[in-house]
């Protein structure tokens, strides 16, 4: 199982939010490129970059995203407000390894089918959840679908992965929903990416045994609750 550090972008800075709330920002680092370089020095080979402003309609960090992607020392997957075929193409052409799509992919299955065929094996669909209910548009809108149902419908597409994020647990340092992640991994034909609240090495080992392909880590790394070098050493393959 891989562990992938998250670089969440807000107003040009790298931040960590609590519970997906813009009102609860716990970490702010002004140089996201240096953050990415730091994860590379720690031994990580991938980063997960999210433009929070684009996801929530508050703005864009496109220049910063392009700079991280273009730096070249890390494999980068990018998401946050990616809602057009052209946006996907531009990110891939800029050097992104994979692109994460959420809102439009979940709300418009015909568009997802077309994009998945066009960019076969390069898209990760993000299913953000509060409890078991899927939320979209920067976590502001709930749709009346259980996340496991959504995961099963995504088996029809040639995806690079499915990412399930327990938004209500993000940044709280209280652990993730291991039961949910295990069930999602079992039902998904695509590699399962788990995110939201992961805090301990024990949790990471459990996720690996549950068949999770990769874990996205944020607050636990940024606050040194987990030793980045140790995590990278154990979970980079």
| Active-site residue list | 8, 128
Q: Left (φ > 0), alpha (ψ -120 to 50) or beta: where does 57 sit?
A: left
Strands 141-146 and 133-136: antiparallel
Q: Do residues 18 and 58 lie in contact, with contact meaning Cβ atoms separated by under 8 Å?
A: no
Query: What is the number of alpha carbons within 13 Å of residue 228 lying toward its C-beta?
Result: 22
Q: How many whole angstroms separate alpha carbon 158 and alpha carbon 6?
A: 24
Task: Please give the distance of CA 14 from its chain centroid, rounded to a whole number.
Answer: 14
Q: Which two three-digit tokens encode residue 195?
A: 């995110």
Q: How many whole angstroms separate alpha carbon 74 and alpha carbon 49?
A: 11
Q: Left (φ > 0), alpha (ψ -120 to 50) or beta: where does 157 sit?
A: beta
Contacts of 183 (CB under 8 A, 6+ apart): 148
């Amino acid at each position: 199982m891989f562990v992938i550090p998250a670089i969440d972008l807000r107003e040009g800075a790298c931040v960590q939010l609590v519970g997906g709330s813009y009102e609860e920002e716990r970490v702010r680092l002004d140089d996201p490129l240096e953050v990415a370089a730091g994860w590379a020095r720690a031994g990580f080979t991938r980063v997960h970059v999210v433009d929070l402003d684009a996801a929530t309609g508050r703005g864009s960090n496109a220049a910063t995203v392009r700079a991280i992607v273009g730096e070249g020392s890390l494999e980068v997957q990018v998401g946050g407000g990616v809602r057009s075929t052209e946006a996907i193409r531009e990110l891939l052409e800029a050097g992104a390894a994979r692109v994460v799509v959420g809102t439009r992919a979940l709300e418009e299955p015909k568009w997802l089918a077309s994009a998945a065929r066009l960019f076969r094996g390069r898209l990760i669909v993000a299913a953000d959840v509060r409890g078991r209910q899927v939320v979209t548009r920067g976590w502001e809108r709930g749709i009346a679908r259980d996340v496991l149902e959504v995961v099963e419908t995504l088996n029809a597409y040639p995806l690079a992965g499915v990412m399930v994020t327990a938004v209500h647990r993000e940044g709280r340092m209280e652990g993730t929903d291991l039961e949910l992640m295990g069930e999602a991994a079992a039902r998904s034909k695509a590699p399962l990416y788990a995110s939201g609240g992961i805090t301990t090495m024990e949790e990471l080992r459990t996720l690996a045994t549950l068949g999770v392909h990769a874990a996205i880590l944020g607050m636990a790394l940024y606050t040194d609750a987990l030793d980045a070098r140790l995590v990278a050493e154990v979970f980079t393959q």
